[in-house]
Structure 1
Amino acid sequence: MKALLLVAMLMALVAITLSATSSEPNRFVSQKYGRIMVTSSCDKYPKICHIKGSVGSDCCNNKCVNLRTDGINCGKCGKKCSYGKICCEGKCVNPRTNHKHCGKCGNKCNTASSCIYGMCSYA
């Protein structure tokens, strides 16, 4: 019983030590599952958003974002797209009717067809 208690205390000590050393802010960039997890503040260090694998190269509310595709920060920080619209090329568009972004960003309909219900030449 004493041995089990000793092992449990040792494991707790190791866990506390590891969490204390890995939670130091503004210094570490770690890679996990092929994505970069940035623990630094982009408000203080904006170049952190330019690291390969970052979500985007812009910094809004202390988070790296892509202003060309982020529906909460579309074109500029804090510009949120309304319901039913998506952010394409930094502009909020309705993918159900937009000729240049029909159904998704970059899906351009032919000049002879129109965008209806997110599909080119529906009917």
Structure 2
Amino acid sequence: MKTLFFVAMVMVLAISLSAESGWEAIKGRNRFLSEKSERVVLTCEKYPKICHVEGSSGSDCCKNKCVNLSTDGSNCGKCGKQCSYGKICCQGKCVNPRTNEKHCGKCGNKCNANSSCIYGMCSYA
């Protein structure tokens, strides 16, 4: 079994070395492949509309990252406002989901009028 593993590793090494030398040969023949291409990096500080693109983390820009100020625990309600340990960000406010009756266990989970939030559950007892 060890011998088979050793042979497989030697084959992988040989293939990777030949692939690199083949790429260098191709790169040397074609001037378009040999030139370094410069990538354009779009940042939300320069282009704030990129945070509104579908699939973005959020529509707000904090420290050059797209975030959602309503739910981001590191930017809760405003950039740089971090929720303390055990708290989560709900509607832009840091709340304790273990005791908050409007956000019991998770954001938006409201307990009934005759129950309370204990350990993140409504009507625990």
TM-score, length-normalised on structure 1?
Answer: 0.75
Aligned-pair identity in percent equals: 68
Label 1:11 to 1:115 Cα distance change in 2 as closer, same or farther (>3 A).
farther
Counterpart in the other structure of 2:40:
25
Q: CA RMSD in A?
A: 2.3
Aligned pair count reads 103
Does structure 1 residue 9 correspond to structure 2 residue 24?
Answer: yes
Shift of 1:25: 2.3
Whole-Å Cα distance in 1 between the matches of residues 112 and 61 of structure 2?
Answer: 36
Structure with the larger helix share:
2
Q: Which amino acid aligns with 2:57?
A: V
Give structure 1 regions of 4+ aligned residues with deviation exceeding 3 angstroms.
Answer: 10-14
Label 1:11 to 1:63 Cα distance change in 2 as closer, same or farther (>3 A).
farther
Whole-Å Cα distance in 2 between the matches of residues 68 and 11 of structure 1?
Answer: 51
Whole-Å Cα distance in 2 between the matches of residues 24 and 64 of structure 1?
Answer: 20
Whole-Å Cα distance in 2 between the matches of residues 42 and 68 of structure 1?
Answer: 18
Q: Could you tell me which runs of 5 or more consecutive residues in structure 1 were left unpaired when the two chains were aligned.
A: 27-39
- Bigger radius of gyration: 2
Counterpart in the other structure of 2:95:
93
Q: Could you tell me which runs of 5 or more consecutive residues in structure 2 were left unpaired when the two chains were aligned.
A: 1-17
Whole-Å Cα distance in 1 between the matches of residues 27 and 124 of structure 2?
Answer: 62
Label 1:118 to 1:12 Cα distance change in 2 as closer, same or farther (>3 A).
farther
Summarize deviations over 1:22-58 as a string: whole Å, max 9, x none. x5123xxxxxxxxxxxxx1100010110001111000
Q: Which amino acid aligns with 1:24?
A: R
Structure with the larger strand share:
1
Does structure 1 residue 116 correspond to structure 2 residue 107?
Answer: no
* Secondary structure of residue in 2 paired with 1:92: strand
TM-score, length-normalised on structure 2?
Answer: 0.74
Shift of 1:12: 7.2
Whole-Å Cα distance in 2 between the matches of residues 116 and 9 of structure 1?
Answer: 65
Label 1:91 to 1:7 Cα distance change in 2 as closer, same or farther (>3 A).
same
